[in-house]
């Protein structure tokens, strides 16, 4: 059974870098046709697709975050990671790791990790 | 970017009664490959979202048949034929036809 587990600091200071890791079990992130990415849910706002990395290492980013965002895949550990630089309070959200079957077809979600940006 | 709009945002329903949620997109969701990439998700309080419906009308494994999806072009609907207590929570539509993918604002279903 596929499981996605987010981990990382729950509190980040403004202007610093938000870093999260998603450990994937029950499936390989190199499985053909699969995409692995991140969605966030700021309090009181809409869910927002952040970006993803495909089975072959190609990355796809939301244009609104592209200048601050890096998503990487570690095939040896079967993990993906998210780095978001120069964070502000607007980046406070629950961050979900997710499997995407293509065309943003998210069929599996992690439990989510709350990240608060505050000094 | 495509904007997804849902209605209503709040939906009080009596147990056993039907419920319907509408979702509109600012652009047609018909992809050049002929598919419509429109999904519905349900999120119970304190849980992560769960996919209910994919590509407009396909129910996920384990999803009760009281849930159904329909629509075309820019207008889509999720229907629950008879609401049960476990159906409370937020429902989101999401389009995947155009980049970037985008969610609706969510509809919060509660039991009257």
In the structure encoding, which two tokens stand for residue B24, read together? 């509109």
B45 has pLDDT over 90: no
B103·A103 Cβ contact <8 A: no
- Binned at pLDDT 50, 70 and 90, residue A23 comes out as very high
In chain B, residues with a C-beta closer than 8 Å to the C-beta of A103 are: 31, 35, 37, 96-97, 101
What's the confidence (pLDDT) of residue B46?
86
What DSSP line would sit under chain B, residue for residue? ---EEEE-SEEEE-TTS-EEEEEEESS--B-TTS-B-EEEEEE-TTS--EEEEETTTEEPTT--TTEEEEEETTEEEEEESS--GGG-EEEEEEE-SSSSPEE---EEEEE-
Residue B60: its pLDDT value, please? 97
Q: Is the pLDDT of residue A29 over 90?
A: yes
C-beta atoms of B96 and A104 within 8 A = yes
Question: What is the predicted pLDDT for the residue at B75?
Answer: 98
**Rounded percentage of chain B residues whose pLDDT exceeds 90:** 98
Nearest-by-CA chain B residue for A45: B105
Contact A46 B95 (CB under 8 A): no
Q: What is the pLDDT of residues A95-109, one digit of tens each?
A: 999 999 999 999 999
pLDDT range class, residue B50, cuts 50, 70, 90: very high
Give the minimum alpha-carbon distance from B100 to chain A in angstroms, rounded to a whole number. Answer: 6
């Amino acid at each position: 059974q596929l499981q996605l587990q987010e981990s990382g600091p729950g509190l980040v200071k403004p202007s610093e870098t938000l870093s999260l890791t998603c450990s994937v079990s029950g499936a390989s992130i190199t499985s053909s046709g699969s995409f692995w990415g991140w969605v966030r849910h700021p309090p009181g706002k809409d869910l927002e697709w952040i970006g993803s990395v495909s089975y072959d290492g190609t990355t796809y980013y939301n244009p609104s975050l592209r200048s601050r965002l890096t998503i990487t895949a570690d095939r040896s550990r079967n993990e993906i990671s998210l780095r978001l630089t120069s964070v502000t309070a607007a980046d406070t959200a629950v961050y979900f790791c997710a499997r995407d079957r293509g065309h943003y077809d998210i069929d599996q979600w992690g439990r989510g990790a709350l990240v608060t940006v505050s000094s | 970017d495509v904007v997804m709009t849902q209605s209503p945002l709040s939906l009080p329903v009596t147990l056993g009664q039907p419920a319907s949620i509408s979702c509109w997109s600012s652009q047609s969701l018909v992809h050049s490959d002929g598919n419509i990439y429109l999904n519905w998700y349900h999120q119970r309080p304190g849980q992560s979202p769960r996919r209910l419906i994919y590509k407009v009308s396909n129910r996920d494994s384990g999803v009760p048949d009281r849930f159904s999806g329909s629509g075309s072009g820019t207008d889509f609907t999720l229907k629950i034929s008879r609401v049960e207590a476990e159906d409370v929570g937020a429902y989101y539509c999401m389009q995947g036809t155009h980049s970037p993918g985008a969610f609706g604002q969510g509809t919060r279903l509660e039991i009257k």
